Amino acid sequence: MKHSLSLIPQVNGNIADERTRFALSSDSLIQIEPGFEFAAEDLLRFLERHYNLRLTISSHTALPIFEHTQAGIINFCHDSGMVHPEGYQITIANGICDITAQTATGALYAVQTIKQLFHSAVPELPAVKVYDEPLYRWRGFMLDSARHFCPVGEIERILDMMLYLKMNKFHWHLTDDQGWRMEINDYPLLSQVGGLSAPSPGFYTTEELHYIVSYAEKRGITVIPEVDLPGHCLSLLAAYPELGCSGGPYVIPSEPGIFYELLCLGNDDALSFSKRLIDYICDIFPGPWIHIGGDEIPTRRWKECPKCQERMKEEHLSNSRELHTWFANRLQEYAAAKGKNLITWNDGIDEKLSRDIICQFWFPYHNAYEKAVAESKRGRKFIMSDYFSTYLDLSQAVVPLKATYAYTGHLHAGKEAAQEHAILGIEAPLWSEHISDRRSRDKQLFPRILAVAESCWTDAEAKNLHDFIKRVDHLKGFFQTEFSIDGNMYRRDPFVLIRFLKKAIRIISMLRQAVSPNREK
């Protein structure tokens, strides 16, 4: 039989519910095969915290299973034949809970499902058989630490939340006009001026960056750093003004906006800095991707800059957009030699941009969908982050739960659709222009981040908004406790709509100049 269990994200595949219970006690055991230690320890911590159970973890060969079925045993097994590397199977029957997975990440996801099944005051599970695997391989969340600095402890909480929701890509926006958050020993003024002197002061040391990467890795999460180039970089230029077109002085702004100051692409020192920055990122972040921003680039400074104009002549570039593309392609070539691929926002894509650069689709400017579909057919990969469906910093009056839950990540332009294999998945950004602490962060995240997780994981035909809301209500207390949510999950901010309208007007006016393909002849 197939029954709907109260799980978020809802599982794919069949759920056979035998309507009996599997009970744990202090005599129960957890048995594991090598590689599943962290998953078992994660479950152990949960049982101790919620039920004061301190179970023993042992290897499979330590004790015969049949001697312990009366006390209950949780058995972690490796299955190399499982189709999806992040998939898992849970079989609970006759006093045994078998967790089968191909990888440690699959076993971790099985544990997250089991945690949600423990929703009573006693340590019991329903006797079920579940097979589950994700819809998308890219299930992302973006945190902006540049506008308002986010402490390491809070990032730990966010990564724990992502694991609970089976999200696997942490896009970390580390630099912007309002702050530079990475310590780089070769450029000490970046953290001293761009970090400590920023309106929201702070930066992450090299040790802290390594720690966050390791913390995420254990939870099956890849960290994708974003360093905004060649725009949104006033915090960089305030520290090293010689890298800008005008030479400064530059001031780190306290307010959000789109500013005209850019990295000088005619300056060889600016190019050398960009490559050394990639070197540093490669040393810290082992994942295969680096995000370079590339959005909202007003080109006035490049048009006025003799060095940039000279560069355009040398490289036979006809306009400033081609100069931007030239820069991105140079960085992609350099990053590729180190085993990395770049990601850019969809403002920055055109036919001459390297096909290896992944596009993160966020804003539907003029002909954006048509352009993206055409690029997908040329082989470009996409991460889908539609502004009006996934931007969690927007008010829930602007981006309601219903819109977020309905988002599929599909890319269409009229009757034309993007190549299916071109869509890597979905990512939800949380920009922090107006988010400075946990309370304001949680107000924007919940419950929509739950909807994002389900859209990333669950097949569209298995989704149902009414059922989802019932599951959210059922699990609300669980999530409130597990995520240490500060405030009401459903609270709304009546003033965010006004801020949204102001931001939309500003973005639209700037994009007309920055991304229109006809802005230069």
**Which tens digits make up the pLDDT trace of 31-86?**
999 999 999 999 999 999 999 999 999 986 544 544 445 568 999 999 998 989 99
Residue type for position 352: K
**Beta bridge partners of residue 171, listed in sequence order:** 142, 224
Phi (first) and psi of residue 177, to 5 degrees = -55, -40
Q: Is 430 strand, coil or helix?
A: strand
Is 138-514 CATH 3.20.20.80? yes
Helix, strand, coil fractions of the chain, as percent rounded to 5 = 40, 20, 40
User: How many other C-beta atoms lie within 10 A of the C-beta of residue 139?
Assistant: 26
> What pLDDT is attached to residue 509?
62
Cα–Cα distance between 43 and 514 in angstroms, integer? Answer: 50
Residues above pLDDT 70, as percent of the chain: 89
- 15-132 against 138-514: fold identical: no
Contact 224, 358 (CB under 8 A): no
> What pLDDT is attached to residue 365?
79
> What pLDDT is attached to residue 516?
52
pLDDT over threshold 80, residue 14: no
Contact 221, 170 (CB under 8 A): yes
Confidence of residue 508 (pLDDT cuts 50, 70, 90): low
> What pLDDT is attached to residue 521?
33
CATH topology of domain 15-132: Chitobiase; domain 2 (3.30.379)
Cα–Cα distance between 202 and 204 in angstroms, integer? Answer: 7
Contact 33, 100 (CB under 8 A): no
pLDDT tens-digit series, residues 330-384: 999 999 999 999 999 999 898 999 999 999 999 887 789 999 999 999 999 999 9
Q: Among 208-217, 284-293, 472-481, which stretch is predicted with the lowest mean pLDDT? A: 472-481
- Per-chain mean pLDDT for the chain: 91
Range list of H helices, 264-319 = 268-284, 300-304, 306-314
pLDDT over threshold 60, residue 415: yes
Known catalytic residues are 296
What is the strand order of the sheet 96-101 is part of?
Answer: 15-23, 124-132, 88-93, 96-101, 73-78, 29-32, 56-59
Between 412 and 69, the more confident residue is 412
pLDDT over threshold 90, residue 405: yes
Domain boundaries, the chain: 15-132, 138-514
Give residues with Cβ within 8 angstroms of 384, minimum separation 6: 361, 390, 407, 409, 410, 411, 423, 425, 426, 427
Between 166 and 120, the more confident residue is 166
Confidence of residue 496 (pLDDT cuts 50, 70, 90): low
- Three-state secondary structure string covering 194-258: HHHCCCCCCCECHHHHHHHHHHHHHCCCEEEEECCCCCCCHHHHHHCHHHECCCCCCCCCCCCCC
Give the β-pairing of 124-132 and 15-23. antiparallel
Q: Is the peptide bond before 9 cis (omega within 30 degrees of 0)?
A: yes
